[in-house]
Every structure is written in C-alpha cells, then in structure tokens.
C-alpha cells in the first residue's frame, strides 16, 4: 500500500509532467520531483506513462445468471489488465436487478470477488420487459443509473413515466436505443457488405428514431439522459443540437465504431455486435462527434460469450464482443498515433468525462486513492485473444498490430494487475 513510482510521465490536471508519484496507505500523498529517501518500495517507471485508472460505463460482467460467459472476478481482472479501475455493470442478467432482492446477488459477488470498483445499473422495467417500472426507490442508493440495456423501451408512455420518476432520484436514464419495429430480422449493418454477401441488414433508423423520441421526452421531463453505444451519423447529429441548447444529455460510443466500418467485416462471429459496425460515413461522423464534444466518452460494451456462441458466423452468432483489454491500445494506435486526437483527449474520453458524469472512479490527484494505470506506449504487439483474462475471446481486433501495453494497474493502492 506504500509505493513510489519514479521517473514517470504523469497525467496531472489535464497535462503530462515528468514526476514521481508517492503513495502512502493507498492514498496519493505527493506528486513531485522530490528524490525518494528509501521510504518504501520504489518502481522506476523509466519514462512510462501513468494515467488515472480508466472508467468504463458500459460493461457486461454476466454475473449472476451467465457464469459460463464471464464472472465478476474474471471480468474485473480483464478490466485491470486493460487499465480500468472502475466499471458500470449492465443489468441484462438473471435475475435482472429490478428490485433489491434481485440486485443483492450481484452486490454480494462484487463485494467478494471484484478487484476494482464495480457499480451496477438498475433496470428501468421489471425483467427488462418494458411493461412495469422497476423498484427505483429500493435500487437508487446502490446503482449508478437505470437502463434496460440490451433492449430499447418500445412504449413512449412507459419511457416518459420512467423518466418522470427517475428525475426525482436525480439519477441518469441510460438508453439502449433500438426500435424493434425497424429491425426486420437484421443482424449486421444495412449497407454495402450486407447487400453484397446476402445478409439481412439493421437500418440506422432503428437506432436514431428512438434517440429522436427520447430527446423530446428529456425536454419535457428534464431528466439526466445518456445514450449508450451510438453508431450512426444521424445519432450524432440528433444529439449535437440539444446539447448546445443545454439539455442534460451525454452519450458514448465504442472503439469498434470509431476505428472500423462495414468494409472491414469478415464472415466471422467476432465481427457481430449490437449495434453493428456501420458505414465509413458513420465512422467519420462519430470521429467528428468526438472532436467537437458531442460524444462525451468511450465505453467498450464488453460483452463476452462462449466460444460456441460466437462460432456460428455473422448470421447465427450471439451479438457482442469483448473489449476491456483492447480499448486503450486500439484507440491509442488508431486515433492518437495517427494524429486524429491527442493523448490528453483520449484520457478525457476514457476517464475524466465518465467520472464526472457517472460519479465513479477517482482523479489522479494528491489526497485521492491511488487508482491508476501504467502504460508502455512504445510497446508494439499483436492482439492475441489467448492472452486475455476475460473468458470471452471474440474481438474484431484479433491479429491487429497495436502500440500501448499495460504494465501495472493499482486500485486504491493495491496492485491488481502487473506485467511480470
């Protein structure tokens, strides 16, 4: 719990400085160039980068209910391996956390097995069925926000009622925006690849139509509103103006939407997720949304499945890919090294903005818990799922050459992952 990290490039209040980080009893006690005096164990960083621990507001840890896909133990170890020290766990579980009785098994597993901070979501409706509101009063003290992630709330009246009630708790409504009436059995983006290879496509309107509806309801209710995993150019445009007008709206996108488009798809389940990887035009619009602040944060939508569930090609495989262990290196390689965004901007997207919006995680500052991560930005390697700590192996980035290897992650002064 007492350590000194020396000769590091440390992210301090939005900038990098060559410094030493002093940690006492799990708390950052000093960030300075003072020479250590044999006070405690010293780690010579030799120019490595020290970031505040990343925060992912959209992770599927699968426990309780789907232990064969992932557990809170394996999922949080994977998160630490990727540099994360705080995650929000999505509620499409069994049982769904729609009341305190159903949330408690997850809270117990978090207390007993998580190696980093995990804050659950509560559901918007019982069983995520979109018919009866969840027990918000019971769940409120224990959850980061409310969401029926994995399903869009189809009823306008139900979503309006949920927003009105959640406004009273000063909590966030985090929306998986998907209009079921516009899906028509699609499973990848309705674009050139789908047409060329005879696949059923998911139209962009199925996403942006619900965002359009919800924004009207947000204007009516004043609730805090967050849009999950946006993937289309229309979604970016719809969110841009209300934010300028002062609505309390934020949104996230994922690494695969920023760095890939449907021309890169292959006939493999590791390229299948919901929403799907979209067109080059959508990818360009998402990057523009990152640059102008329309998109506030990057979340992985880490969604592990068994090997069997992902071995059935694009049509039959389950929706979802893993992402906690590839997010930073992929984004650093594809966006920072190529000059699209700065490293400082990436930290803002992966730490500062999610921390400020969801109220989880801690800054890399004196007096705060030492929840941080250390990266070697020069380290180049090939993404190999066999090296993952998650139980899932399906990633569209398999075989990619990336830069940026996690060397150590600390949570509250405890080393929870180290590259030995």
Where in the sequence numbering do the catalytic residues fall? Answer: 301
HSE toward the beta carbon, residue 120, CA cutoff 13 A: 32
d(CA 194, CA 213): 28
Collapse the DSSP code of 65 into the 3-class scheme (helix H, G, I; strand E, B; otherwise coil) and give the result. Answer: coil
Helix (H) or strand (E) holding 281: helix 280-292
Q: What are phi and psi of 151, to 5 degrees?
A: -145, 145
Q: How far is CA 383 from CA 310, 392, 405, in A?
A: 18, 14, 11
Rg (CA), the chain: 21
Phi, psi of 381 (to 5 degrees): -155, 170
Buried b (16+ CB within 10 A) or exposed e, 337-365: eeebbebebbbbbbbbbbbbbbebbbbbe
Sheet containing strand 172-175, edge to edge, reads 145-146, 172-175, 224-227, 249-253, 297-298
* Distance, CA of 271 to chain centre: 18
Contact predicate 114/140, CB 8 Å: no
DSSP conformation class of 302? B
Please count the helices (runs of H) and the strands (runs of E) in the chain.
13, 18
The answer to whether 178 and 186 are in contact (CB under 8 A) is no
The Cα 324–Cα 331 span in angstroms is 12
**Extended strands (E) in 79-202:** 84-89, 117-120, 145-146, 172-175, 188-189, 201-202
């Amino acid at each position: 719990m007492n350590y000194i990290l020396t000769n590091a490039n440390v992210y301090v209040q939005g900038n990098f400085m060559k410094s030493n980080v002093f940690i006492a009893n799990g708390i950052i006690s000093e960030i300075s160039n003072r020479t250590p005096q044999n006070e405690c164990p010293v780690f010579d960083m030799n120019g490595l980068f020290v970031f505040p621990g990343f925060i992912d507001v959209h992770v599927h840890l699968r426990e309780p209910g789907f232990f064969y896909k992932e557990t809170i133990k394996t999922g949080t170890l994977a998160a630490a391996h990727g540099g994360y020290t705080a995650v929000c766990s999505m509620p499409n579980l069994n049982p769904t956390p729609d009341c305190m009785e159903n949330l408690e098994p997850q809270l117990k597993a978090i207390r007993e097995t998580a190696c980093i901070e995990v804050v659950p979501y509560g559901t918007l409706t019982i069983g995520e069925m979109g018919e009866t509101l969840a027990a918000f009063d019971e769940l409120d003290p224990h959850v980061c926000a409310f969401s029926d992630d994995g399903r869009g709330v189809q009823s306008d009246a139900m979503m309006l009622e949920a927003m009105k009630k959640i406004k009273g708790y000063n909590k966030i409504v985090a929306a998986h925006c998907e209009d079921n009436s516009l899906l028509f059995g699609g499973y990848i983006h309705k674009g050139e690849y789908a047409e060329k290879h005879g696949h059923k496509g998911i139209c962009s309107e199925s996403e942006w139509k619900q965002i359009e509806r919800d924004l009207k309801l947000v204007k009516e209710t004043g609730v805090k509103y967050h849009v999950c995993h946006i993937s289309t150019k229309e979604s970016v445009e719809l969110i841009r103006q209300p934010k300028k007008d002062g609505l309390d709206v934020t949104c996230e996108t994922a690494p695969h939407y920023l760095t890939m488009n449907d021309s890169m798809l292959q006939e493999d389940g590791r390229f299948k997720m919901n929403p799907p990887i979209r067109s080059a035009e959508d990818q360009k619009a998402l990057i523009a949304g990152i640059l102008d602040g329309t998109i506030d944060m990057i979340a992985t939508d880490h969604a592990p499945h068994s090997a069997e569930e992902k071995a059935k090609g694009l049509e039959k495989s389950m929706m979802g890919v893993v992402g906690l262990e590839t997010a930073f290196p992929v984004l650093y390689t594809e966006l920072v090294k190529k000059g699209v965004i700065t490293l400082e901007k990436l930290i803002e997207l992966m730490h500062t903005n999610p921390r400020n919006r969801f109220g989880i995680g801690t800054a890399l500052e004196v007096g705060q818990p030492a929840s941080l991560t250390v990266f070697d930005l020069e380290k180049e390697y090939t993404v190999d799922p066999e090296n993952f700590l998650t139980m899932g192996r399906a990633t569209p980035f398999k075989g990619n050459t990336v830069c940026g290897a996690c060397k150590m992650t600390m949570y509250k002064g405890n080393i929870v992952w180290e590259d030995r």
